[in-house]
Structure 1
């Protein structure tokens, strides 16, 4: 088939063969064209016309295309659809080339290597992650980078930590080295929000020389990289080099960290606490990050998200961040002035990335200049502050006057968008630019002067000079005028029309050459100067990145201070004594949704002596909110944020675990209860004495006494084996007996006010347990039919009078249910669906006075009871 293709289509197929996993954007003049299957795929996604092109075969090749100058938006749409795009450019000038123009793929764009702003979220990092698994140890080296800002991070983790690391980082694309990784991704489809690149294994080579193209030998040796980390880093940089055809100066340092540097938050906890996105809809709005993010720059927004994803474990680091927030919190004017100046700063980090990859345009350089003009003002604000920590922060601010000065001197204030369209460089910056611009701007005046001069010389008042693309400039004289005079000397006939003749002179030819070539010359000259300026800035990219990081840090700190001031947060006190004492704590998200004045605050107090709270109370009364707000307040303190409370003393925690809400995993064949037990197993296997564990309604998905037994045993295990801070909400009121059995357990409940048949949930957590759940009342609030409510109330009364009372006594008499000491025969006390009917019949038989009944009444009553008993099944009275 290839032999029959036209020469150009053969060239296309040869290039496509090398990039089978990409949509090939094949440059033809002013368009990127796609052919065959690529065209059919792209046309459907981009919603553009699918046409055809003769290719040497009997059938025309399917074809579609997009204008090269508008390609970015089309590429972004393909990337968002999970595809890769290979950009194939013309490497020669078609007008100066005989035969087929040489073409090469200059860049491959994938979800993790996008530079275009139309695809990227401004306040979210776009990470490319490389995972290398060591076959001998089973450990992983993980490296990831946002090439738009040059932020490179690496870590060495164990096999069980990979899933949580991926969920924390949220990469856009993952490359990996082995079949084990491939199997891992198939078993965890929830991770496939990232693009899993299955054609990337060849990048994981032992090529140390590649590292030295990015980093000095001293820098690498000083990091002490493990073999898995080093190989993951090589894979990452190799992939970037292949796809971008570029060694980027913005990737200049390795940030090596340990998972033990930050609080461990598993995927369940991140989801349950809705740290950066909501459970329903995966939206930022409604999450903790949405409340905390009042940043004025994209850089600050990305850094704040990173802080929320990675709470600190070092008390010294936490206190340092809290001090900075406190200084900004205490100075309203400074805080507002800083916010006003930050608002005018563009995304310097991503502008650095565009400089490094030679993608920056003239307007973006002007944006960089405008951003840098704000830096000296911000530095003076920090230096004038009375706060020591802020003054120290100002020392890291490089004002970058030289960079700003270059751009100011060279680039027009309103330049063209494209670097190759001219109208970029100021005339005052280069004399040649001034001359050429003068010529292009005054070309019309030059033509008019020649026209006037020729009219006077010939005496032909109607003589005029015109222009078209075929002949260029020409002198037009009507045939009537030509019959009255001779053709002037020096005129060369160019074209004959029905009513006139067209001529050209040497002077006009020279003028035409100057005018027509001046525009091309000035475009080329301006582009050369633009590249020189870009390269000068490139040499200082490290300084730009350092200042950008400082601006991002200041923005994130200022955001936390502003949120704290606006919402009435307080500075938490971290302690190593295991004390968790929060006065009038509030849920940071819910109080914003319903209004501060409508939210009922609550206290919590735990120490190492009393650190397990059993919380009982009605449905919908606020137990889950109370537990979540406690976890969020603790997490916010470890971020270095003020917290929603009147007072807060927070124990230094290493991990927070939550098991809240019901969910199943149908893709893995797991029921709601199986998911719940898996999550609890994960918590019990990983929590330490310095952890906070939040468990809500454990055991709901199975029979009553199976669930109760499990819940009881879980509390006992936490008490005896883990000894961590625990909040355990339950409707198993029997668990309140644990307060007398286990020394560190304390009971709390949600206060309720009963007024006849009405119940008011006070949403206040008070000491002591409860034995009511008010589930039927909640069902009534949910507008269940009155018949259902009435029937359920009747059934509940019957159950409470008979079987439940008996079962409570049976369970209580068995002790603390420790498996090693007591065997519980749950089947002996198990409720069945129709036991309330059996109990009612037994009660009726017991209360019956046979001696006062007539024979016919006795027979009728026995007949009715017999029929009712038959409807219950043969085994009801066994």
Structure 2
């Protein structure tokens, strides 16, 4: 029977039955022959899309066409889904303890406890399986505007993949009936469908059954196509392009909507469209209100204890200095600690960037107190108030700790015009660290000699030029005589580079020179005399406008420290033009532009920073008055006579800080407490130095005149001996006035002590109430004055536990929290009062500004005399004091002359005897081979006959000279690289020194020859 066939039977086929019909229900198994005769289904040509692309081969879900036994548990949809063993935890670092994120300690106690309870319940194990789920509640709820600076350490494991949404807490236990509404169940179902949409919803064990009555051919099962919804996970800002987050950054325009390349394009601004403002959060709006006007400036934005950079600034910090790039709200961000701000600002400025600093003007507690008073505050007022503090550039640094050296750093504004067919210049420049302004206006010659001299003397660090109003020749001089790090700024005429009339109006109406608010304004005498000089006032206007943008113009102008500057003095000083300063290598060498090997580096032995700055001016403008020169040389001889007194005076001056810069910071109200103490101690050192010189001086000469002109410092300094606590100022960096100096400060301090006494009384009451003397106060972070009790002590039910250890617990209760709150508000008010009291003390000190400045200038002159004395004694023997002869004919006589810059480098220097004028010829012509020493002789004669006799002794056995008022040096300059080297070469050099009645001129030239010499021409 088994071999026979049934002729009328239809062709059997397999039909898909509902999965609800199971073998367990029937208790029978279908014919085994039909099962094995079943046709194998064809594989699906289109593979089922996976819900997670990262699914590995080892953890891949079985194919949809393969039967799955009903006893086998369904695998998760991905290897990343609920994979506890390989899970990694994202490490959250509070990189900034932001005040924006600070919540009220007491208002957030309940919320913090609720979060702790949620974290304890976040991991739930299913009673019927091993699926591990992480609750949504375990994720910390971050405020987008106030999120902490979160970065992952390099050692952290990679972050866990995003998990599917977990079920509500009430539906996690299958043994309990769900009490959730139908909407929650539907949302839960939708969430499961989204993640596991390609997994069969029922068991596939009974989906294929043999049906002998069905003759339809079997069809392969077609898997359902998944329609995965787009993930709602937030992509990190630093991994997205700017145009994806801010479309208007893809097409940059200035604030007037001019694109780059437009003649009126302003690179300092950026256009933010109105629609963008409507979509900004309060924090973004606060940031972009500042940044839109500082697009070319790196903005350090204060957040708690950190300064942060956003967007393009963050990219710069990441690329240049490898700062960790992360994201905040919708912006890329890097951050640096507040304590290292100066170091990072210097790093950016050294790279040529401008840096802006935005500070927090209040703390979180201060913000809450402000909101309590101003209940009608707008939304943007609900965040920490921040303001632009200042903008720092390489040429306008005011903090001495940021400056590279003790020399003056100038920001120079130049206005060029033509007057009577001659070039004319108006120049205004400032040393922002000292608040010293210089103004000048002059007509120049065709070669711009005065202009080149001014540039060589000042060495500008930053230039302010009028756009399209500066000549090519002036630009060439600036480029040849400034360093590569010089900052060039081109301003628009009128709006940025002010006209003279606008400058006068601005200076008149802004009260820069009023002694007190509302008082009559009086211009400094130097500035009043230059009021009608239009070129000068226009240049000053550009400088004032620029300082206003940097937010430092008022603190500098209100000092009233203006000086007239003449690049070429004709009365009382020698004329050293720019070419002479360059060719003699007075301040910069010709090798790399540095100071090594220069005359200034050789002579500069000053020990005070303000003395070094004055000595540079002495070198730029040597004396030509014989009486003043001899007076200066007498002072040098007197200091070298008694080296003990000289060294004692030098040791006194060595202890002084840079008083000239610090009193400028005090005037601006931006001095640190410890620096203020240094200033007072510095002036006390000046008093000691003056008393030392009074005992040493014989009552005659320059030193006696300087000492007698020193103002009396005893009276103003006596007040400051008890005005504040100097120890706290050094250690705690705060100014605490003495008792009775500031009445409101004393009252605020007494209020804090009163609250602390109440806290101590409350603690004593609780010790008696609980009969436990071990109770004490403990501070845990910002939760201060918690009552700490052993775990064995039973506390009242209204006590709320805040923290605990293995042996103790810490509590708050209503009466205690009220007192702590009062203490915190009193301390916040007191901290604001401390800043106000510091400003009062600075203003009180600034009343005697003229006295302090006069003492500094006299001290700097004494330091320069000490410098000349030390330099003279270091020349060795023979050395002599120059003798100036008053003859009609010019004369220069040297015997055994040595080059001063080579005394420490060459041991076998051969001295030279030089005689010019008098009974000898006025011209010396010296020829010789290349590198024979002709240029050395030229510079040696020039330095020792022109410059050094006006300052100090010289390295020669004897020197006699007639003083001349103009001295210049011209040297042959080698051909530029563009000159053809095959046609011009050097055969020999000629040294020419010419001595005339009022002029001593030296020149060095090089005779040229061609490759092929022409036939000699017969001459007369």
> CA shift at 1:255, angstroms?
2.4
1:266 deviation in Å?
4.5
Choose the corresponding residue for 2:898, options 573, 583, 586: 586
Alignment correspondent of 2:882: 572
- Corresponding residue for residue 219 of structure 2: none
**In the alignment, structure 1 residue 118 sits paired with structure 2 residue 398:** no
Deviations 1:48-93 (A, max 9, x none): 22333443xxxxx332233344322222222222222233344566
Deviation at residue 519 of structure 1 after TM alignment:
4.4
Select the residue among 480, 491, 500 that pairs with 1:199.
491
Within the candidate set 591, 594, 598, 1:283 is matched to 594
Q: Are 1:150 and 2:458 matched, yes or no?
A: no
Tell me the alpha carbon deviations over residues 449-505 of structure 1, each in whole angstroms, 9 at most, x when there is no partner.
7555533443246655444457543445567543xxxx66xx842238999886556
Match of 2:653 in 1: 342
Conservation of the 8 A alpha-carbon contact between 2:636 and 2:952: yes
Match of 2:545 in 1: 238
Q: Which residue of 1 aligns with 2:392?
A: 109
- Partner-residue secondary structure (3-state), 2:678: helix
Mapped partners of 1:365, 1:673: distance in 2: 65
Does residue 129 (structure 1) correspond to residue 419 (structure 2)? The answer is: no
Select between 236-245 and 443-452 the one with higher mean Cα deviation.
443-452
The CA deviation string for residues 811-842 of structure 1, in whole angstroms up to 9 with x for no partner, is 7x735xxxxxxxxxxxxxxxxxxxxxxxxxxx
Distance 1:651 1:15, change over 3 A: same
Tell whether the 8 Å contact from 1:479 to 1:500 is kept in structure 2 after alignment: yes
8 A Cα contact 1:107 1:245, kept in partner: no
Unaligned runs of 5+ in 2: 1-247, 249-272, 372-377, 514-521
Superposed counterparts of 1:746-825, under 5 Å: 814-815=1019-1020
Q: How far has the Cα of 1:630 moved from its partner?
A: 0.8
Does the CA-based 8 Å contact 1:636-1:643 persist in structure 2?
no
| Of 694, 697, 704, the match for 2:1002 | 694
Q: Which of 185, 201, 208 is the matching residue for 2:504? A: 208
Equivalent pair of 1:123/1:298 in contact (CA under 8 Å): yes
Task: Tell me the distance in 1 between the aligned counterparts of 2:754 and 2:1013.
Answer: 94
Superimposed CA distance per residue, residues 271-302 of structure 1 (whole angstroms, 9 cap, x where no aligned partner): 33221233223332322112211111111111
Q: TM-score by structure 1 length? A: 0.70
Aligned to 2:94: none
Q: Does 1:562 align with 2:870?
A: yes
SS at match of 1:114: coil
Q: Counterparts of 1:287 and 1:397 in 2: how far apart (Å)?
A: 33
Is 1:255 the counterpart of 2:551? The answer is: no
Question: What is the match of residue 480 of structure 2?
Answer: 190
Instruction: State yes or no: 1:410 paired with 2:684.
Output: no
CA distance in 2, matches of 1:145, 1:674: 47
**Structure 1, gaps ≥5 residues long:** 56-60, 707-806, 816-878
**Shift, 1:391, TM fit:** 1.3
Q: Whole-Å Cα distance in 2 between the matches of residues 638 and 142 of structure 1?
A: 32
Give 1:533 shift. 0.9
Contact preservation (8 Å) 1:493, 1:502: no
SS of corresponding position for 1:198: strand
Q: In the alignment, what sits opposite 2:374? A: none
- Is 1:366–1:407's contact at 8 Å kept on the other side of the alignment? no
Matches within 5 A, 1:67-86: 67-86=337-356
Write the distance in 2 (CA, Å) between the matches of 1:692 and 1:259. 16
1:593-632 to 2 correspondences below 5 Å: 593-595=905-907, 598-607=908-917, 610-617=921-928, 619-632=930-943
TM superposition shift of 1:584: 1.7
Deviates more, 1:434-443 or 1:549-558: 434-443
Q: CA deviation at 1:338?
A: 1.9
Query: Could you say what secondary structure the match of 1:229 adopts?
Result: helix
Q: How does 1:293-308 map to 2 (within 5 A)?
A: 293-308=604-619
Residue pair 1:130, 1:233 contacting (<8 A) in 2 also: yes
Match of 1:392 in 2: 705
Task: Give CA deviations for 1:647-675 in whole Å, capped at 9, x if unaligned.
Answer: 22233334444345754544xx4578999
**Closer/same/farther in 2, CA of residues 177 and 75 from structure 1, 3 Å limit:** same
Structure 1 residue 339: Cα displacement: 1.2
Question: What is the SS of the residue equivalent to 2:915?
Answer: strand
1:672–1:508 CA distance, 2 compared to 1 (3 A): farther
Residue of 280, 287, 290 corresponding to 1:6 = 280
| Equivalent pair of 2:497/2:538 in contact (CA under 8 Å) | no
Mapped contact 1:106–1:245 kept (Cα < 8 A):
no
TM alignment of 1:396-475, pairs within 5 A: 396-416=709-729, 422=734, 424-425=736-737, 451=763, 454-460=766-772, 463-469=775-781, 472-475=784-787
In 1: Cα distance, 2:979 partner to 2:569 partner: 31
- 1:156 and 1:44 map into 2 onto residues whose CA distance is 45
**1:560: how far off?**
0.3
Corresponding residue of 1:65:
335
Q: How large is the RMSD of aligned CA atoms in angstroms?
A: 4.0
1:510 is displaced (CA, Å) by: 6.4
Aligned residues: 692
CA distance in 1, matches of 2:681, 2:803: 56
Secondary structure of the 1:87 match is: strand
Deviation at 1:210, TM superposition (A): 4.2
Whole-Å separation in 2 of the counterparts to 1:552 and 1:179 = 42
Report the CA distance shift for 1:701/1:629 in structure 2 as closer, same or farther (over 3 A): farther
1:272 is matched with which residue?
Answer: 583
- What's 1:494 paired with? 800
Instruction: Provide TM-score, normalisation by structure 2.
Output: 0.61
Contact 1:673 1:699 in 2 (8 A): no
The 3 A distance-change label for structure 1 pair 271 and 580 is same
Distance 1:642 1:468 in 2: 69
